[in-house]
Amino acid sequence: MKTDLQGSSRDTAAIVALAGDVGGQLTPRPSPEVLAEEQARLERARSFAIPLLTGQVLDTGEDALHHAEGVVAILQAIGASPSMLAAVYLVYVAEYLNRPEEAIGKAFGPSYASLVGATRKLVQIQRNARGALVAEDDRAEQIERVRKMLLAFSRDLRVVLLRLASRLQTLRYYAQSKRDCPQELARESLQVFAPLANRLGIWQIKWELEDLSFRFLEPEAYKSIARMLDEKRVEREQVVRSLREQVASLLKRRGIAAEVQGRPKHIYSIWKKMRGKQLDFDHVFDIRALRVVVRTVRDCYAALSVVHEAYTPLSEEFDDYIAKPKPNGYQSLHTVVYDAQGRTIEIQIRTREMHEHAEHGVAAHWAYKEAGTKGYGGVVAAGDFESQVAEARKAVLRQLLAWERDFAEQGSGSGVFDDHIYVFTPQASVVELPKDATPIDFAYSVHTDLGHRCRGAKVDGVMVPLNTPLRSGQTVEVITVKEGGPSMDWLNPELGYLKSSRAKAKVRAWFNMLAQQETIAKGRELVERLLQREGRTAINLEDLAAQLGFRNADALFDVVGKDEYSLRNIEQVLRPGGSAPQPSDDFIPLRKPRADAASARGGVLVVGVESLLTQLARCCKPAPPDAIGGFVTKGRGVAVHRSDCTNFRQLAARDPERVIPVEWGQPPADKPAVYPVDVAVEAHDRQGLLRDISEVFAKEKMNVIGVRTQSVRDTAWMTFTVEVSDSARLAQVLGVVRQVPGVRIARRK
């Protein structure tokens, strides 16, 4: 099939115009040069695709090239630009290329490559989840796919338009070839694609998707209604033509400028009305229908008066959607009247603006007239035109969000969408956030630095507190300072500044970085003071760190500042004849060490050796039931380390023959052994913090034998040395410590 590749003379559907061009600068109206360039790109894409698509068969059984050209024809019929039509060929040819995104990116540009990648991912999502439509109990899976489609739309509207046209072409293929369409595919078309086309205002695609899906899902009902329509087609067309002429004449005589049209009724729409209202075919009043388009709202009601004077109205069938619009913004007057022969006719009356909205969807008529064939992709709301397109894009997405809620309400009510919202940047980009997210969450989702420097926010143009929960569809603008960082208050859950785990992690990372800088500064000071005492101030610190086994000087300063690395190791290297660094053999004796083997059972036993002196390493402070290992020191017995201790691993790597198995002994029931353990606490500094944490240890009957504290910029770092008989018990106590107001981290060192 050779598709007519010239521009369509039909009006462009608003949503197609907002889909935008592929790359290039946004312009209100494309110049002849731009159109020529787009047409050349389309021809090049088609020439590129034909050799690769010829003879290929899709998984539906369709000829690949025939399908692609059918999709082009569908999009062309609703006013798609040549650039978008070119994208169709490239999407289908991608299946037959190695590294398709890379190849298409080089030949046609990154925007086409992005479109190909997004479309292929969406197709895979659909294939994986389609089975959920077979069982009504699996609605959540179906709704999740709808959400995936929504997110794909928010990044690139072209993806969804291509998928809609592709699905319609596939249904046409099954109908024309008289093959059975898979039920799950037809049901997906009816339940997902047709409602999506409806929300986007692409009525031609919506109606045909519904009729074809209905044809495959309910073939007998479809044929029955089709036969009844065919039997009455001539009569119906004659009645509509006559009535159209009468109404136009009546309105003209009353001085009301109007355009009167006949309106077709689609098979699926008739069936829905028959089933929903329990009607037979003869009582479906809008099989014969007129549409009256006037200039003003006043004219709408004047025309309604004229119609009701000339014909007998059916009062229960009157709807005023002008005074009370439908949720998607649809406005019109609907009435049903009897003609002279007693036949019912539905008449819709609306203004031109209402008609454009009804025909072209939620994007206002001005938006697509201004946008021409460009507008959606890469919009920057920098001027009047750009602002209009951005607002139209927001309107479209708000309708998609409403459609999403419709699906959720039809489902099991399990709240699939309750955990996310979608808001806009001032440039109309879409940002997904967790429910009840705040402007600070929004700022961090856009960019980490924007979050750090956030000091205020406007929501829909109004200043709001930074802990204000956001709602879907709002536009958020962040007010920043040139330099600065987050506030510690943002991490206080009681104040409600952050909802997103990602944002919380970024704030904690900021304060951890500050703490690390303080620790590094402390470690540098200690190392430089040692070098001064040793008279070695000229030594290169980076070389010293490398000699000690660290990747750089800051890594050395960090562990020294945390008291996790002894300065003795540095002294040993600095002094004459010094060798490679020796991990620290500092020890803590048991509270009451005894030399007999019986007492050893209350502490540590060396496997296979009795009455051998053991000491607990100060660097890691092991306690039961920690996994432990022993290292035979020179003249001071066996040093007992935790198995995961850095010093122990270094010692074992250097002298593996001195590693010895050890295990915890059984303590006497009347006098259990206790072990000193260090606990690190990070918290928001406040009055009474130390007292509250100490009270937790006292209440849990855990003896505190030492405390070190440091406070920097409202953050307190504390190290508690507590005595425990079982480190597993310590984990429970730390859980209680974390509940103390202001405490963020409580862990064993």
What residue type is assigned to position 557 of the chain? F
CA-CA distance, 222 to 216, in Å (whole number)?
A: 9
| 704-712 and 715-724 strand pairing | antiparallel
- Cβ–Cβ < 8 Å for 643, 623: no
Question: Tell me, what DSSP letter sits at residue 483?
Answer: S
Residue 22, token pair as written in the block: 């592929």
Query: Which structural domains are found in the chain, ordered by start?
Result: 14-202 (1.10.3210.10), 228-360 (3.30.460.10), 420-499 (3.10.20.30), 510-574 (no CATH), 587-664 (no CATH), 675-748 (3.30.70.260)
**Of 64-68, 319-323, 688-692, which range is least confident?**
688-692
Encode pLDDT of 317-358 as tens digits.
899 999 998 766 778 999 988 888 777 888 999 998 888 777
The pLDDT-based confidence of 125 (bands split at 50, 70, 90) is: low
Convert 658-705 into a string of H (helix), E (strand) and C (coil): HEECEEECCCCCCCCCCEEEEEEEEEECCCCHHHHHHHHHHHCCCCEE
Residue 456: pLDDT above 90? Answer: yes
- Cβ–Cβ < 8 Å for 461, 490: no
Residue 8: pLDDT above 50? Answer: no
Q: Calculate mean pLDDT across residues 446-465.
A: 91
Q: Calculate mean pLDDT across residues 664-685.
A: 79
67 vs 645, higher pLDDT:
67
Residue 344: the pLDDT is 80
Give the predicted TM-score (pTM) of the model.
0.49
The pLDDT-based confidence of 134 (bands split at 50, 70, 90) is: very low
Encode pLDDT of 483-493 as tens digits.
888 988 898 88
650, exposed or middle or buried, with CB in 10 Å at 0-12, 13-18, 19+? middle
Please provide the average confidence, as pLDDT, over all residues in the chain: 76
CA distances to 234, 236, 249, 570, 639 from 242, in Å: 12, 10, 11, 104, 106
Question: Tell me, what DSSP letter sits at residue 531?
Answer: H
Picking from 181, 184, 244, 249, the residue whose alpha carbon sits closest to that of residue 215 is 181
| 472: three-class secondary structure by DSSP | coil
Residue 551: the pLDDT is 82
Residue 256: pLDDT above 90? Answer: yes
44, exposed or middle or buried, with CB in 10 Å at 0-12, 13-18, 19+? middle
- Cβ–Cβ < 8 Å for 466, 457: yes
Residue 366: the pLDDT is 29
The pLDDT-based confidence of 148 (bands split at 50, 70, 90) is: low
Residue 584: the pLDDT is 45
CA-CA distance, 192 to 170, in Å (whole number)?
A: 15
6 vs 300, higher pLDDT:
300
Residue % of the chain over a pLDDT of 70 = 72
Picking from 254, 160, 234, the residue whose alpha carbon sits closest to that of residue 198 is 160
Q: Whats the size of the chain, residue-wise? A: 749
Residue 23: pLDDT above 50? Answer: no
739, exposed or middle or buried, with CB in 10 Å at 0-12, 13-18, 19+? exposed
Residue 304: pLDDT above 90? Answer: yes
Residue the block writes with tokens 């890469």: 378
Residue 133: the pLDDT is 43
Q: Calculate mean pLDDT across residues 698-709.
A: 85
In angstroms, how far is CA 313 from the centroid of its own chain?
A: 51
Residue 26: the pLDDT is 37
Residue 478: its H or E element? strand 476-480
Encode pLDDT of 163-195 as tens digits.
889 999 999 999 999 888 988 888 888 877 887
The pLDDT-based confidence of 731 (bands split at 50, 70, 90) is: confident
The pLDDT-based confidence of 249 (bands split at 50, 70, 90) is: very high
CA-CA distance, 28 to 386, in Å (whole number)?
A: 9
Encode pLDDT of 389-423 as tens digits.
556 556 665 655 555 555 555 544 444 445 677 77
Is-cis flag, bond preceding 625, omega within 30?
yes
Which value, in Å, is the radius of gyration of the alpha carbons in the chain? 37
Q: Calculate mean pLDDT across residues 239-256.
A: 89
Residue 434: pLDDT above 60? Answer: yes
CA-CA distance, 323 to 570, in Å (whole number)?
A: 84
Residue 425, token pair as written in the block: 């940047």
Question: Tell me, what DSSP letter sits at residue 287?
Answer: G
Residue 117: the pLDDT is 77
CA-CA distance, 379 to 25, in Å (whole number)?
A: 9
Residue the block writes with tokens 């770092």: 717
- Cβ–Cβ < 8 Å for 533, 543: no
Picking from 463, 462, 442, the residue whose alpha carbon sits closest to that of residue 454 is 442
Encode pLDDT of 212-245 as tens digits.
998 999 888 888 877 776 645 566 677 778 888 9
The pLDDT-based confidence of 295 (bands split at 50, 70, 90) is: very high
Residue 89: pLDDT above 70? Answer: yes
For 95-107, give one letter per residue: b (16+ CB within 10 A) or e: beeeebbebbbee
Residue 275: pLDDT above 60? Answer: yes
Residue 592: pLDDT above 50? Answer: no
